[in-house]
């Protein structure tokens, strides 16, 4: 158990954005850097608010943020996230967040410690553009990505390989096999093999059904780790 005064002092002295919430996702404290991210003038203005109450457009992802908080509480394990949100000036910024459970004297999770690091890199910039511009290609409708993403196959719920996760990630956003193959640096035939394996594992018959099921499972908000190492130069034409 971490004393509240010590926790607040730690948050105040961290160079990155930071704060902590209770089990209802209500902020108890945050530092100045976090206040800037969510569009508030003073760090104490964050206190008593949930993600739904923030003035910045990051509030559009509030439901997803609360679901992630619930997962931290239920599993007792930290979550690594990528957040892509517009700042106060409307410019999109990328942040790598870590949500860590904090326990009380009985061992129960009673708070969530949040830290966020501003990620400035060419790869993340291209990834941000890709996620914001390319719609999710489901059978029934087109959906635009929200701006908060889990990272890694641990959050899939079905046993798939890292490469299959990458193929699934792109297939939800790109319809053409050749473009997916180009983005991953593999052949179209290999993409086809992975798609066949994915349909079997998700127990569906068609690619459209695979996309719909994956979307219903919330997998559009789960990024493969390998996407940070890939070139997205072809993404602007990946329609």
Return the SS3 of 221: helix
> Do 139 and 103 fall into the same domain?
no
- In terms of domains, do 95 and 137 share one? no
Q: Are residues 105 and 12 in the same domain?
A: yes
Of the candidates 28, 27, 80, the one whose C-alpha atom is nearest the C-alpha of residue 53 is 27
- Side-chain half-sphere of 137: how many Cα atoms within 13 Å? 14
Same domain, residue pair 114 and 25: yes
Choosing from 68, 97, 120, the residue where a domain stops is 120
Segments forming the whole domain that contains residue 83: 4-120
pLDDT, residue 224, reads 86
Nearest residue to 19 via CA among 4, 31, 9, 10: 31
Is the domain of 74 the same as that of 146? no
* pLDDT tens digits, one per residue of 202-237: 999 999 999 999 988 988 888 887 776 555 444 434
Domain count within the chain:
2
The pLDDT assigned to 239 comes to 43
Ranges of residues in the chain with a pLDDT under 50 are 136-146, 232-239
Q: What is the pLDDT of residues 67-80, one digit of tens each?
A: 889 999 999 999 88
Shared-domain flag, residues 146 and 65: no
Provide φ and ψ at 113, rounded to 5°: -90, 125
Burial of 28 (0-12, 13-18, 19+ CB in 10 A): middle
Evaluate whether 167 touches 193 at the Cβ level (below 8 Å): no
The enclosing domain of 34 has a CATH number of: 3.30.450.20
Stated pTM of the model: 0.65
Please say whether the beta carbons of 88 and 102 come within 8 A: no
Give yes or no: residues 92 and 180 share one domain. no
């Amino acid at each position: 158990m971490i004393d509240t005064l010590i926790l607040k002092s730690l948050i105040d002295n961290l160079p990155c954005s930071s704060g902590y919430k209770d089990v209802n996702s209500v902020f108890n404290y945050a530092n100045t850097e976090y206040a800037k991210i969510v569009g508030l003038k003073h760090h104490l203005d964050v206190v008593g608010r949930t993600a739904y109450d923030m003035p910045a457009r990051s509030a559009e992802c509030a439901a997803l943020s609360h679901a992630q908080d619930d997962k931290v509480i239920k599993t007792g394990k930290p979550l690594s996230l990528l957040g892509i949100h517009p700042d106060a000036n409307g410019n999109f910024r990328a942040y790598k967040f870590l949500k860590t459970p904090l326990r009380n004297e009985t061992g129960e999770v009673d708070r969530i410690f949040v830290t966020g690091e501003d990620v400035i890199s060419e790869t993340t910039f291209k990834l941000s553009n890709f996620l914001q511009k390319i719609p999710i290609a489901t059978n029934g409708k087109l959906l635009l990505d929200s701006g908060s993403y889990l990272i890694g196959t641990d959050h899939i719920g079905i046993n798939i390989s890292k490469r299959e996760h990458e193929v699934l990630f792109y297939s939800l956003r790109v319809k053409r096999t050749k473009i997916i193959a180009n983005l991953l640096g593999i052949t179209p035939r290999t993409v086809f093999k992975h798609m066949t394996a994915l349909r079997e594992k998700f127990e569906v018959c068609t690619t459209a059904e695979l996309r719909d099921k994956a979307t219903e499972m919330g997998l559009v908000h789960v990024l493969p780790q390998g996407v940070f190492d890939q070139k997205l130069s072809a993404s602007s034409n990946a329609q």
